[in-house]
Amino acid sequence: MRKSKRIFLRNITLYAVVILILFIWLLPYIFMITSAFKSRLQVYAYPPVWFFEPTFENFVEVIFGQNLLFYLENTLLIAIPNTILTLIIAVPAAYSFARFRFMHKEKLFLLLLFLQLVPGISVIIAYYYTAISLGLFDTHILLIILYLLWNIPYTIWIVRGFFEGIPVELEEAALIDGCSRLSALIKIVLPLSIQGVSATALLLFIFSWNEFTLPYFLTSLNARPLSTTVVFYMSHTEIFWGRIFALGFISTLPPIIFALIVRKYFIRTLAFGALKQ
Amino acid sequence: MFSPNFFTHLLKKYYPVILVLPAITTVLILVIYPLFMSLQTSFFKWTYGTPWSQAEYVGLKNYYWVFFGGDYLFYVSLQLTVVYVIFQVLGSFFVGLFIAVLLDKLPRGGSLFTSFFIIPMVIMPAVAGLMWRLYFTYDGLVNYFVETLFRIKINWFSTEYALIALSLASIWITAPFFILVFYAALTSLPQSPIEAARVDGASELTILKDIKLPMLKPIIFVTLILRTIEALRSFDLPYVTFGGGPGSATEVLAIHINRIAFQFRQLGAGSVLSLFLILLVVIMCSLLINKLKESWVT
């Protein structure tokens, strides 16, 4: 009785400590969200204002004054096709890595993982001039293709793990029944790993949504995505903090909601790679 | 001679490779092509904004300029990079490990809390960077807390403090990776040695130090190297927070490349620096490969 009470007390303190740390940890973000509803003077106030009457002027300015929907559309026109294309190319490859034996398999696998570590800023000069000479500068298709560099290896890495978690016997039975490898992948393996693969797809979407370096250099007026627009609010004379925060609020919300929805798989997907090594 | 059977045989034999081929060729082209182009441009004097036809072959001049004093900021930038990377990686490692250990102690709900703790990781880096930029201003949020606690205010936008401020902001963004990995690793550790030690009366701290951490050692090594590479590569955060300034106080290599290539418009020298950054990443990768080989052998 006494011992269980002690454990109970210990747990309560533990939760209290964790919640306190979580609050401090997320305070910068919480403060940003609340600041998005502040008027211009309140944003700069010192000491910071914690309680105030919310105003929507920043949101109105960002959404209607700065053509937010146009940039949002660009982001989606890049992120969605890229996610689909990545899956089409990477899922069969992941299946092959998970199920077959072939020459230098693990070396090829590692090579893929290392290639995607190439720094974006190091390839930007080459991409910039190639894009211009091919007439692809400032187009959606350019970024859809370039993001493949990071997204394909990542997807193969993760999805291979999901596929290897599925027992081979199920496919073998289907193969004996005359099912081809490809239809075994589509009809048996994919349905069994659909949650993991969808979580990976959402993650790819988040990556494309957040990407800054490449679109910052490779787009101008036509294909510029949302992630690079915050910089617009920094003029030489003034930075419009209220608007940046409003834009920040809008643009960080979808990834956070997605991440929380696929919470279980998200943790597994992101941690998986590092753990498997 | 080429009967349909022949083709089906060929297809069957190379089926695994055919499935892998599109992925590998796409990635290879996207990496190898810019590498060769950087290698080529590194031997040319080429001004940003002019067509390639006006580039002029200069041999090793760009390399000489970058490494032997012409680019007086190169070694400064290299030093800053080393400090920034060490500060960020070790800082986020300890913060991440601390939070993960705490979350692992929770009887339940650990994974729910984890997903809230990793929010900084899914926020747009550009937004997060700008956010910290405002918080680090003289009358900003950070100084508000510093003043409440220590009764002083720090000028974060000064040469002495800017790199520290940048590192602190980067720790907030990168620690979630460690939280995530260590939480997943800690919860999947085999329980029997831990239980045995507990029965023997070992304190929780001893268990963590002498049993759990040694078991996590391979993961710790891999994650530290991966984060080092990530810290070397990252351009967005240093760019939107301090943009290399004040002066060149936060001009890490990624920022320096941008400065030389696009602000000073020297694409040749920029290519030399780009290749140098890639070389650093390759060195880190080879450390990783050696470690992996070790663990394959044993």
Q: Which residues of A46-85 are buried (b: 16+ CB within 10 A; e: fewer)?
A: eebeeeeeeeeebbebbbeebebeebbebbbbbbebbbeb
Query: Can you list the domains of chain A with their CATH numbers?
Result: 2-57 (no CATH), 66-276 (1.10.3720.10)
A243 CB neighbours in chain B (<8 A) are: none
Say if B298 falls within a structural domain: no
Question: A28 and B135 in contact by Cβ < 8 A?
Answer: yes
Question: A230 and B130 in contact by Cβ < 8 A?
Answer: yes
B200 contact partners, CB below 8 Å, separation of at least 6: none
B18-27 confidence digits (pLDDT tens): 889 999 999 9
Residues B93, B32: one domain?
no
* Structure tokens that stand for A136 in this block: 């692809």
Task: Please check the confidence at residue A277 and state whether its pLDDT lies above 50.
Answer: no
- The whole-angstrom distance between A122's CA and the closest CA on chain B is 4
Residues B112, B171: one domain?
yes
- The whole-angstrom distance between B160's CA and the closest CA on chain A is 23
* Structure tokens that stand for A50 in this block: 């914690």
B72 contact partners, CB below 8 Å, separation of at least 6: none
Residues B126, B225: one domain?
yes
Residues B32, B92: one domain?
no
- The whole-angstrom distance between B55's CA and the closest CA on chain A is 13
Say if B295 falls within a structural domain: no
Picking from A122, A231, A258, the nearest residue to B278 by CB comes out as: A122
What 8-state DSSP symbol labels residue A48?
A: P
Question: A17 and B102 in contact by Cβ < 8 A?
Answer: yes
Residues B20, B82: one domain?
no
Task: Please check the confidence at residue A88 and state whether its pLDDT lies above 90.
Answer: yes
Q: Which domain holds residue B28?
A: 1-41
Question: B235 and A11 in contact by Cβ < 8 A?
Answer: no
Q: State the average pLDDT over residues A68-95.
A: 93
Contact between residue B71 and residue B276 where contact means Cβ atoms under 8 Å apart:
no
**Length of chain A counted residue by residue:** 277
Q: Which of A122, A128, A238 to mutate to test the interface with B (most CBs of B within 10 A)?
A: A122
Phi first, then psi, for residue A178 (nearest 5°) are 95, 15
Q: Which residues of B122-159 are buried (b: 16+ CB within 10 A; e: fewer)?
A: bbbbbbbbbbbbbbbbeebbbbeeeeeeeeeebebbee
Residues B35, B118: one domain?
no
Q: What is the pTM of this model?
A: 0.89
DSSP H helical ranges for B118-191: 119-122, 125-135, 141-150, 162-187
Residues B108, B174: one domain?
yes
Supply the mean pLDDT for chain A: 86
Residues B142, B7: one domain?
no
Contact between residue A137 and residue A218 where contact means Cβ atoms under 8 Å apart:
yes
- The whole-angstrom distance between B49's CA and the closest CA on chain A is 10
The CATH number assigned to the domain holding B199 equals 1.10.3720.10
Picking from A95, A121, A244, the nearest residue to B258 by CB comes out as: A121
Residues linked to residue B45 through DSSP beta bridges, in sequence order:
B56
Question: B20 and A97 in contact by Cβ < 8 A?
Answer: yes
* Structure tokens that stand for B83 in this block: 């400090």
* Structure tokens that stand for B292 in this block: 């992996």
Question: A247 and B172 in contact by Cβ < 8 A?
Answer: no
Q: What beta strand segments (E) does chain B contain?
A: 44-45, 56-57
Supply the mean pLDDT for chain B: 88
Alpha carbons A82 and A140: distance in angstroms, whole number? 10
Alpha carbons A177 and A188: distance in angstroms, whole number? 13
A42-63 confidence digits (pLDDT tens): 887 778 878 888 888 888 888 8
B67 contact partners, CB below 8 Å, separation of at least 6: B74
The yes/no answer to whether this complex scores an ipTM above 0.90 is: no
Number of domains chain B is built from: 2
The pLDDT assigned to B298 comes to: 45
Amino acid making up residue A219: T
Burial of A167 (0-12, 13-18, 19+ CB in 10 A): exposed
Say if B273 falls within a structural domain: no
Provide the 10 A C-beta neighbour count for residue B51: 11
A99 CB neighbours in chain B (<8 A) are: 16
Residues B79, B226: one domain?
yes
Picking from B235, B254, B261, the nearest residue to A125 by CB comes out as: B261
- The whole-angstrom distance between A59's CA and the closest CA on chain B is 15
Element (H, E) at B289: helix B267-297
Say if B279 falls within a structural domain: no
Alpha carbons B67 and A118: distance in angstroms, whole number? 22
Q: State the average pLDDT over residues B144-163.
A: 90
The pLDDT assigned to A116 comes to: 87
Alpha carbons B290 and B286: distance in angstroms, whole number? 6
Residues B26, B122: one domain?
no
| Nearest to B219, CA basis, from B180, B193, B192 | B180
Of A206-215, A250-259, B6-15, B63-72, give the lowest mean pLDDT range: B6-15
- The whole-angstrom distance between A170's CA and the closest CA on chain B is 19
B102-145 confidence digits (pLDDT tens): 999 888 888 889 889 989 988 888 889 989 988 998 888 999 99
B167-223 confidence digits (pLDDT tens): 999 999 999 989 988 988 888 888 888 888 888 888 888 888 888 888 888 888 888
Residues B100, B3: one domain?
no
A127 CB neighbours in chain B (<8 A) are: 34
Residues B162, B81: one domain?
yes
Axis-axis angle for helices B162-187, B110-117 (nearest 10): 160
Say if B282 falls within a structural domain: no
Dihedral-angle region of residue A46 (phi above 0 means left; psi in -120 to 50 means alpha; beta otherwise): beta
B20 CB neighbours in chain A (<8 A) are: 92-93, 96-97, 102, 108
Question: A119 and B275 in contact by Cβ < 8 A?
Answer: no
Q: What percent of chain A stands above pLDDT 90?
A: 34
* Structure tokens that stand for A170 in this block: 């199920």
B134 CB neighbours in chain A (<8 A) are: 239, 241, 244
Of A23-27, A82-86, B108-112, B291-295, give the lowest mean pLDDT range: B291-295
Q: Which of A117, A127, A136, A253 to mutate to test the interface with B (most CBs of B within 10 A)?
A: A117
